[in-house]
Structure 1
Amino acid sequence: MTSCAVAIVGVGLVGKQVVHQLTSPALSPLFKIISLTNSRHTLHLNPAAPSLDGQTLLSLLPPSSGPLPSSSAHPAASYVAANPTELVKKLAADARHSKQHTILIDCTSDLSVTELYPTTIASGLSVVTPNKKGFSSSADLFKQIVEAQSAPNAGLVYLEATVGAGLPIISTLRDLLKTGDEVTKIEGVFSGTMSYIFNEFSKPASGGSAGPKFSEIVKIAKENGYTEPHPADDLSGSDVARKLTILSRLLSINPSSLAALPDLPEGYASLSTETLIPSALANIASGEEFVQKLPEHDAEFDKLRSEAEAEGKVLRYVGVIDRASGVVKCGLEKYPAAHPFASALSGSDNIVAFHTKRYSQRPLIVQGAGAGADVTAMGVVADAIKVAERQGVRVHL
């Protein structure tokens, strides 16, 4: 096999970057994009037609706000209304006919798309995705995804970009487990937003003034695009909880002599998660109003910082999977100034420490940018390359 066919669902910031990276000179001979889907429209491309550059491909997909085109300006293009279920059926049928392996890349954040993964995989298509929801929601869905990979001629699943964007976190965990290491603990700063907020919040005061206010940092983070439109979505800790759920489940499906981890039947919702949303602001629907009222609660966060400083420590919002005690949790923790979580972080970096039998004296640490469309797309495309290699496509260094 000389190349793989690719269908991309979700053509937002990350999806667009995936298109550009797959159509780069180095990768365009290895991947043939045959379909693009946004929330309303699907663009199908004739697999026999010459490959197009990324900008041309993206220009052929009409915006989701517009009507479905009745005709195409390009002879290789055709259009149908977006229907992921029908798309999977068509891709599977076409792949059986062409004998070319097909990869479905899901760049949405849609749970309903992830519910198609078991059928997609069992039909022989591979799935590559940064979408956390299929692996961090109900245990039943996760089980179906895992079991689908045992079907005859099943496709592959790669999800590197669900945790840490392009950082090699899941692949590192997989390599540790598959080579027989025993992972005893995983801990880290998994949220770029939380990383930025507490890196700024922990900066020492200058000239005898008080340290920066929590509310002001959140406001600046929102203005700079580090937070969701409603900062409570970040401060709830749910993003960290989803990532921990994924890592915990990947640990649990591998044999271990250590204590079992919690089952998490409802996924991230079953996990012990400390929210940083003041209770008085919990029901505010507007992100703007939330930011306006957050200063009323600065004293609560100042107190937490003062308590940490009195111990010579700083605050970090971390996720912890402790295999020895069978605990999975996320929340605020204090770290001494010399600890890597306190000293090595800047900006919105992620940092993850793997404690294992092999890395028992000093943990294996992965650190770097854990958010951003370009690095997330890199994680997705790197996974697509792994699928291609396992299907016999020659990918040279």
Structure 2
Amino acid sequence: MPAPRQVFIAVIGVGGVGKCFLSQLSKLASRQSQDPSHPTYLSLILVSRSNKLLFSESYRPLSLSTWEADLDASKTPVLDPLAIAEYLSTAPEKVVVVDNTSSQDVAENYPIFLKKGISIVTPNKKAFSGTYDLWQDIFAVANNGQGTGGYVFHESSVGAGLPVISTLRELVETGDEVRRIEGVFSGTMSFLFNSFMPVGGGGGKFSEEVKKAKDLGYTEPDPRDDLNGLDVARKLTILARIAGLETQSPTSFPVQSLIPKELESCKSGDEFMQKLGQYDGDMEKLKKEAADEGKVVRFVGSIDVQKNDVKVGLEKFDVSHPIAALKGSDNIISFYTKRYGDNPLIIQGAGAGGDVTAMGVTGDLIKVLRLLR
């Protein structure tokens, strides 16, 4: 039997996704330690939230069963990413950082972690949809890019647990010609428009449906963060780059915001919600136009790789189209390629939620563990 090995895990961000990940990590650690061919001990050595930190100075494992209470009791202030990278770089075994935040500051330090041989798995979109220079810097250093540093995987940055990024990378790397990518990339916008204009008619006023989505927890605390389209634009930026386009940023192509111009200056999400109903007329008009054509309105993103054309916004679809038939908060991503011809390769399913997002992160951690053997 081969000698067991140890891999250290550092977790930054323990909100909804972070808690789900740590629960999955506990089960994964148990399975990995009992693997007869490659026993691996996954040792949690750092857990950080926005205001405090729990870490093991001697690199002895923290408890996966009591980490939350231990973190609550910790008096250690949060460290900046550079200090965390320095601490992890002196660990006696390989280290994987799990960044469950949406922090720009952490994202911009990925090249430093990777240069020190520290691997990264993350749902954080900021690193991969920020400046094109940062994208290049990350993959110039990463071992699964051009470099010899740590490995980096970010499946959950686009479709939560859906295999969107891995599928696109495989299409590209096996030499298929990706011509167009189209889909509903936001669970929030999917739920909102499936409720606002269901196939078969009905649906409430737009402002009422936004309120319903917010009350059910589908939107961000401030719904403007969903309605401005930037979340979808970030996901399209990531996919466009993997498909070979030098897309500079999520604001370098047309993104339709559903925030009425008159409400862009609202000082709070509550003020915005109070006033949104005054502007339902435009959306009702759009709904009627689509219904008169036998179509429905959906909020989609598309990438025309051949024309280097990326855009996000409202489009009308025949009721027989797969995008029209979506249910609940599902995502759907269609890849039109040379090999698949007129019938696209379609990935569909839950595109949001703590458990499925954490599943994508855990899946990426498993990829790194295999590569570190």
Question: What is the TM-score when the length of structure 2 is the normalising length?
Answer: 0.92
Question: 1:352 & 1:362 partners in 2: Cα distance?
Answer: 13
In the other structure, the counterpart of 2:105 is 112
Instruction: Note the C-alpha offset of 1:213.
Output: 0.7
Question: 1:163 & 1:227 partners in 2: Cα distance?
Answer: 17
Of 308, 313, 318, 1:326 maps to: 308
For the 8 Å contact 1:177–1:183, the answer to whether it is kept is: yes
Unaligned stretches of 5+ residues in structure 1: 70-78, 253-260, 393-397
Matched residue type, 2:31: A
Question: 2:161 & 2:203 partners in 1: Cα distance?
Answer: 33
Instruction: Note the C-alpha offset of 1:270.
Output: 1.4
Work out the number of aligned pairs and report it. Answer: 360
Once superposed, what is the RMSD of the aligned Cα atoms?
1.9
For the 8 Å contact 2:185–2:331, the answer to whether it is kept is: yes
Instruction: Note the C-alpha offset of 1:31.
Output: 2.0
Alignment of 1:192-271 (within 5 A): 192-203=187-198, 211-252=203-244, 261=245, 263-265=246-248, 267-271=249-253
In the other structure, the counterpart of 1:374 is 355
Does 2:64 match 1:61? no
Of 87, 90, 93, 1:93 maps to: 90
For the 8 Å contact 1:40–1:82, the answer to whether it is kept is: no
Question: 2:86 & 2:55 partners in 1: Cα distance?
Answer: 14
Question: 1:51 & 1:303 partners in 2: Cα distance?
Answer: 57
Question: 1:341 & 1:3 partners in 2: Cα distance?
Answer: 45
Structure 1 residues 136 and 50 mapped into 2: Cα distance closer, same or farther (>3 Å)? Answer: closer
Matched residue type, 1:222: K
In the other structure, the counterpart of 2:135 is 142
Instruction: Note the C-alpha offset of 1:45.
Output: 2.7
Unaligned stretches of 5+ residues in structure 2: 34-39
Instruction: Note the C-alpha offset of 1:153.
Output: 3.7
Structure 1 residues 80 and 204 mapped into 2: Cα distance closer, same or farther (>3 Å)? Answer: closer
Instruction: Note the C-alpha offset of 1:176.
Output: 1.1
Instruction: Note the C-alpha offset of 1:264.
Output: 3.4
- 1:90-121 CA-to-partner distances (Å, cap 9, x unmatched) read 11121xxx2x2211111111101011101111
Instruction: Note the C-alpha offset of 1:126.
Output: 0.6
Q: Which runs of 4+ in 1 moved over 3 A?
A: 27-30, 46-51, 150-153
Question: 1:331 & 1:81 partners in 2: Cα distance?
Answer: 39
Partner-residue secondary structure (3-state), 1:127: strand
Does 2:31 match 1:26? yes
In the other structure, the counterpart of 1:309 is 291
Does 2:266 match 1:284? yes
Question: 1:83 & 1:36 partners in 2: Cα distance?
Answer: 13
In the other structure, the counterpart of 2:55 is 44
Instruction: Note the C-alpha offset of 1:26.
Output: 2.6
Instruction: Note the C-alpha offset of 1:9.
Output: 0.7
Question: 1:335 & 1:87 partners in 2: Cα distance?
Answer: 48
Instruction: Note the C-alpha offset of 1:342.
Output: 0.6
Partner-residue secondary structure (3-state), 1:14: helix
Instruction: Note the C-alpha offset of 1:62.
Output: 2.4
